[in-house]
Amino acid sequence: MKAVGVVVEYNPFHNGHLYHLQQAKEQTGADISIAAMSGNFLQRGEPALVSKWARTKMALEAGVDIVFELPYRFATQHAETFAEGAVSILSAAGCDTLCFGSESGELEAFNKTIAFLEDNNEVFQEKIKSYTGEGYSYPKSIALSFHSLAPSESFIDISRPNNILGLHYIQAIIRQKSSMKAETITRKNAGYHDEHFASATIASATSIRKALFGAAGEIESIKQYVPETTYTQLINYRDQYGGFHSWEDYWPLLKYKLLQSTPSEIKEFYEVEEGLENRLLAAAGSSGSFQQFMESIKTKRYTWTRLQRVCLHILTNTSKDTMKKSQKTVNYLKLLGATEKGRSYLNYKKKDFNLPLVSKLSAFSDPDIDLDIKASRIYALGQTAKGQEQLLAEEFARPPIMLNS
C-alpha cells in the first residue's frame, strides 16, 4: 500500500485542507493518507480551537486514514524543529511521499533554494546575525538576508509561512536520510494569515476562528467554508465541553503564573531570552486581557508568534532544561485514530516501523509523553468545570478513534 504523509494542525479542518488532502492522494497515487497532527497546543503558540480528539475525528471523516500526534516538544516550536518532528513521524510510519501546501507550488524552486543556501551558508548566517543585531525578528532577518543574496527570481519567497515550512520539511528529509520524497501543492485562494473571508468556499483557519470568536459568535457564518462533518463536530464540541478554546481562557492562569514568579524564575522558561522576563512581568500586572498583554510586550525584535510560544511555555511550566535534554526526532508513534483502511495498513506495516506504535499511554513511557500529559491537563483548564472533567479523563481513558466505513 502506497502512503502519502501530510503535516497538519486542522484548527479546524476546512475546505482548503480537504482540497490539499484530495490533491495529495491524486498527485502521488497514494492508497492511504497519514497525518502527523499537532496535539492540543500549536506551532504559533496557541491553544487549538477544539481538542486533538475532535480534530482527529474531523480528519478521519474527511478522508485521512491514520492520525499520529506530533508531541508538544515539536508542535510548539519554530519551523525547523517542528519539521524535524513531523518528518521523523511520517518517515517512521512508512510514507512514500510527504506532500505539503505552499505559496510557491514548484518543487524545483525549493530544491534550488536549498542548494543555494547550502553553498552560501557562511555569508547567509553572518547576514542573519547582522539583521538581528539591528533589532529585526529572526524570521524577518532570514527573509532580508536571503533577498540580499539571491541572484535570481527562480527561488521561493522564504518570507511566506508555508514556503518556510516546506523548505524545512525537505531539509529534514535530507538530514534524516529518509527515503520519503517531497511533493508540493499550491495553496488555494486563502492566505495562511488571512483574517477575512475572501472566497465563496475557501477560507483560512485564521478567518474561521476569528468568525467563531467574533462579537456575534455565530457558527453558521462558517458553514460554507468547512465540510459538513467539521461543522457537526464543532457544534457537538461546543455543546459537550462548553465552548471553544482561546488564549483569553488561559489568561488568568498565565497572569497568576507570572505574578507569583521572580524575574530569575521566569528566565528559566523555554524561549525567554535577553531580559524579556522583566518586560513580561511588568506588563502582566497592568494588563486586563491576553490581547492587551500581548500588545504591551510586542516589539520589532519579537514576533507575535514567538511571544505566544514564550507565554505557552510559561503556562505549561516548560523549562529550558526540559526542552534541551530531549532528542531531535520523535521516539514513538502515538496513534490518535484510524479508518478501516488505515487499520489494515497498520496491521500490515507496523512490523516494519522503526519506532514503537503507542495506542495506550499506560503501556509506554517517554519524557515527551509526560510533557504531553502535562500540556493536556493545562489545556483542559480552559473549559467549564464539566468540560475540564471530560478532557482530563480523555487523555488516559480514551483509546484511538476507530472510524468504520
The binding site consists of: 7-20, 101, 162, 187
How distant, in Å, are the alpha carbons of 259, 283, 360 from that of 231?
Answer: 39, 38, 29
305 backbone φψ class: left, alpha, beta (φ>0; ψ -120 to 50): alpha
Unique residue bearing C-alpha cell 521516539: 331
Residues tagged in the binding site annotation for ATP: 7-20, 101, 162, 187
Say if CB 308 and CB 248 are below 8 A apart: no
Of 11, 30, 54, the C-alpha closest to 398 is 54
How many degrees, rounded to 5, is the angle at CA 25 between CA 19 and CA 27?
A: 90
Q: What's the CA gap between 335 and 73, in Å, rounded?
A: 17
Number of residues assigned to the chain = 405
Instruction: Label residues 38-49 b or e (16+ Cβ within 10 Å = b).
Output: bbbbbbbbbbbb
